[in-house]
Amino acid sequence: MGRPFTASDEQILQAAGKVIARRGPDDFTLAEVAEEVGLSRAAIILRFKSTHALKVTLLTQMVERFARALEVLPTSPGGNNVLRLAAFIGRYAGTRESSARFFAGFTSNLRNRELLELERKRGEALREAISRVMPRVSIEHESAIIAFRTHLTGTIMAWLSADEVDSRAYMVMRTREWLKLAGVAFDEAVVRELTAEESGSSEGKKSAVGSTRARPPRARKRVA
C-alpha cells in the first residue's frame, strides 16, 4: 500500500491563496482549501488549528509581501510615480498572489481584532507609499493621501465588476484622470508605458475602457 499523501505547510498556504483569490476573504472555506491541496479538512486543522487560524496566517503573509513590494517602488514625489504606484496596485490586485477584495478592504475585518490589525497594517503600508510619491497639491498632504486612497479603493471595486478589463491598465487610466482633476503634471509617455502589456504586444496598449484582453484569474462573482 502506498504512503498517504502529505503536504507541507507552504503547500497548504499556496492552496489557501488560490482559494482566497477565487472567493475573497469573506467566503474563504477550509473545505475548498482541502480539495485544492488534496488533504482532508482534519489534516489541515491538525496543522493550523482552525479555518480562522489558516486565514490569518495567509493574510499575514499577504500583507507582509505587499508591504515589502511597496518599499521598492520609486519614492520621489510627482505624477509619474503616482501612476507607477497605481500600476503596481492594479497589477497586484489582478493576480493570484492577492485578493482584490483584500486590498479594497472588507467588512469582516471589523468583527475580528486580528483581521482588523492586519487591515490596519495593510492600510498603513499603502498610506506610506502614497505619501512618498504624492506631490504638493491644493489641499493638505494628508488630505491628498486620503483622497487618493479613496480613489484606489473605488477603482478596485469598479474593476471587480468590469469583465475583460486589464487590471493594471484600468487603474492607470483612472489615475490619469484623477491626476488631471487634481492638477498634477505627468507624462503621457509613462501612461503608455504602464498600460502596455508586459509582453510588449500592441493589444496591451489599448485603453483600459476599450481593452478586450483577458485578465489573470480573479475572484469569481459571489457565490462569493
Could you tell me the residue range of the domain that residue 118 belongs to? 59-205
CATH number of the domain residue 84 falls in: 1.10.357.10
Q: Tell whether 140 is covered by a domain.
A: yes
Alpha-carbon distances, residue 112 vs 48, 75, 124, 223 (angstroms): 18, 33, 18, 22
Q: Tell whether 211 is covered by a domain.
A: no
Q: Tell whether 131 is covered by a domain.
A: yes
Which DSSP helix (H) or strand (E) runs through 132?
helix 113-133
Q: Tell whether 50 is covered by a domain.
A: no
Q: Tell whether 210 is covered by a domain.
A: no
Q: Tell whether 46 is covered by a domain.
A: no
Instruction: Name the residue with cell 488560490.
Output: 18
**What total number of domains does the chain contain?**
1
**What does the pLDDT profile of the chain (224 residues) look like in tens digits?**
444 557 889 999 999 988 887 777 777 889 999 999 998 999 999 889 888 899 889 889 888 999 999 999 999 999 999 999 999 998 887 764 555 555 555 445 556 788 888 888 988 999 999 999 999 999 999 999 999 999 998 898 888 787 667 889 999 999 999 999 999 999 999 999 999 864 444 343 333 333 333 334 443 333 33
CB 164 within 8 A of CB 213: yes
Cell of 35: 480539495
Q: Tell whether 22 is covered by a domain.
A: no
Q: Tell whether 180 is covered by a domain.
A: yes
- Output the CA angle 211-193-176, nearest 5 degrees: 70
